[in-house]
Structure 1
């Protein structure tokens, strides 16, 4: 069975290399140092090279788009990488508790403990396999090998990465090293997300004991919605890059915020649906549990209503106690509440608050775009006109 040492994140060749080097270890909070090291590797040399080249600071650079004015790049290396690295232990702890919930509850029948343990063991094997992370590394390096142009550069705008029709030393480091680190960190997270989705799919095919009368309104699986929220960090990371790219377009290409609203809204919707999609695999099992619950409790309700009517309307004796002196009415009310829970049971273990959390994670990095569209004085004046 799953124990407190179970982990979705702590495994694979990258983790083993970090453990071997002493960069991380049990009981040591070194995640901050890992994040700092990745930022230093990907962003530090760019600072030095552009400072020497005179393309570092806005206002003094000899190009239109200096390094510290490239909001898409700042979002990549000062927001996305640290957030993804620092969020990994928090996400891992909650996902571990969610899987422990399966093993400690009665959803897994004792007769099916062995297949459940085999599933967990197989998941551990996939997590520790070298092939997925090697594939992530190949995908991260491939654009540099194919000499693909750096993503996010603005057409027609001179920037810190190019000079005389080619890449500057900073541009070469960005294309070969910085973007490789950025892609690899993202792809490792995507791999862990896909591994979790595979886990949910396999669990949905097991004979889980789901109860339509469960008070959580999702057959006992509502906790999966809270687990899925943790992957909102992926939506936040992508939203930061989208917001940084839009900020570049607004500042250097004079594109208004209104011209990009469809891109921003589309990203929020698509990322939210993508992150929530793995929970759809539970729909058939929950539908089955709901249909079964409605049929069984409908029969029970009919029997209870029939007995109640017969006792109080048909066969009631003159000297029988008053209705309020018995618990019959209370029992009928209690049963009505249970049946209402079954009738309103969700067939997707995802509440509106779970969706709102995922959407908020995607939209939060876009809030600063308001300050690019309006000056602070103009923003305060409009808010004052609305509120006052």
Structure 2
């Protein structure tokens, strides 16, 4: 299988959640046009098409302006880091993310049943949840609404943002409609809607993921308070955060590119200003993708309350029996070796389980998963920061840190 062919996994069927989030704009439209096969996504090929349709015509029209002697338009286009970042990096990343996020989210959803967290008594209710997510995933209204909304946003921007507020390559010296160049119209009516439809598609998938988790959290789940991972067996949902890292990179690139564009057009960007933008972006990304996991705080809190009572009572009873036997009792055997007794091992294991139950996390979020997502979102800002600091200064700091 080539690098641009990624299996989506089975799309439906009872007890099969691998394709549960395999939908959303614009995948249904692509299926209608015969340009999408869920078994072979061809994400690399589709990402190239997005670049060819969204960015190459802008380049061609800018070259036409250069050919007729309009050097300012050509230079303004080259300096517009925002449009290059959105069309060359962000839009393709949204396509490539399908091959990473969708299968992983489906695998995490399947884990609920695979591990027995959803007991057999809750199977009918769980199947109802899966069917409802599939209906929302495959609905035509969302697909159509995404396209309509993308063009509404584009038209509102055309109407309310004058060309004089945009980089020079958007303006036409020949009295074109609304004073916009052909490249500006292509960007507004083709490039921007493509990006918005891809973005709205991911907003819809994240909503489906959040709704799925919320509905599952309302079931009577089989949670084990003393589970070694510290979240009653639910810590695996935290692995969704690294899966969203590619989207974090895309969002970070979008914001960082605006700072870079300001810098390239003669503006000034301080490290402090860039740091504030990076901090806000990272916090926003982490909140958006972590918030759906908070729906399990209620079940975990109830599990903790139950565990504190039941595990505590068991520990008290076993502890009393242990002390009566080994500390207050009369064994009558001087050769007995208490530390080699199985009682000590059993009691130690029990008390470890009790301690695990008492320290149960109320939010199934792993710190390293949050760090992975945050670092991915911050990476583009780090690259921009390198342009603000002289290379010899950066090299000196690195050498100093290593020594």
The normalised TM-score by structure 1 is: 0.91
Structure 1 residue 261: deviation in Å?
2.3
CA distance in structure 2 between the partners assigned to 1:154 and 1:352 by the alignment:
46
**1:160 aligned to 2:169?**
yes
Partner of 1:328: 343
Structure 1 residues not aligned, in runs of 5+: none
Q: Greater shift after overlay, 188-197 or 25-34?
A: 25-34
Partner of 1:293: 307
**Quick one: structure 1 residues 382 and 103, their matched pair in 2 at CA, closer, same or farther if it must change by over 3 Å?**
closer
Structure 1 residue 143: deviation in Å?
2.4
Moved over 6 A (4+): 149-154
Match of 1:209 among 212, 216, 222: 222
**Matched ranges for 1:59-70 at <5 A:** 61-63=71-73, 66-70=76-80
**Quick one: structure 1 residues 226 and 150, their matched pair in 2 at CA, closer, same or farther if it must change by over 3 Å?**
farther
Superimposed CA distance per residue, residues 183-240 of structure 1 (whole angstroms, 9 cap, x where no aligned partner): 1111100110011101111111111111111111111111100023322333221110
Superimposed CA distance per residue, residues 14-65 of structure 1 (whole angstroms, 9 cap, x where no aligned partner): 4344234442325435111111111111111101000010299xxx932595
**1:317 aligned to 2:317?**
no
Partner of 1:96: 106
Q: Greater shift after overlay, 304-313 or 373-382?
A: 373-382
Match of 1:276 among 287, 290, 294: 290
Cα contact 2:293–2:365 (8 A) shared by 1: yes
Match of 1:360 among 366, 370, 375: 375
CA distance in structure 2 between the partners assigned to 1:153 and 1:102 by the alignment:
52
Match of 1:51 among 60, 63, 80: 63
Partner of 1:223: 236
**Quick one: structure 1 residues 283 and 46, their matched pair in 2 at CA, closer, same or farther if it must change by over 3 Å?**
same
Cα contact 2:172–2:181 (8 A) shared by 1: yes
CA distance in structure 1 between the partners assigned to 2:67 and 2:244 by the alignment:
36
The normalised TM-score by structure 2 is: 0.88
**Matched ranges for 1:1-80 at <5 A:** 1-3=14-16, 6-9=19-22, 11=23, 14-54=26-66, 61-63=71-73, 66-80=76-90
Structure 1 residue 101: deviation in Å?
1.0
Partner of 1:145: 155
Matched pairs, number: 383
Cα contact 1:272–1:355 (8 A) shared by 2: yes
Aligned CA RMSD, in angstroms, stands at 2.5
**1:106 aligned to 2:130?**
no
Cα contact 1:55–1:63 (8 A) shared by 2: no
**1:232 aligned to 2:245?**
yes
**1:340 aligned to 2:352?**
no
**Quick one: structure 1 residues 55 and 142, their matched pair in 2 at CA, closer, same or farther if it must change by over 3 Å?**
farther
Cα contact 2:235–2:364 (8 A) shared by 1: yes
CA distance in structure 2 between the partners assigned to 1:261 and 1:153 by the alignment:
30
Structure 1 residue 369: deviation in Å?
0.9
Structure 2 residues not aligned, in runs of 5+: 1-13
Q: Greater shift after overlay, 221-230 or 23-32?
A: 23-32
Cα contact 1:193–1:231 (8 A) shared by 2: no
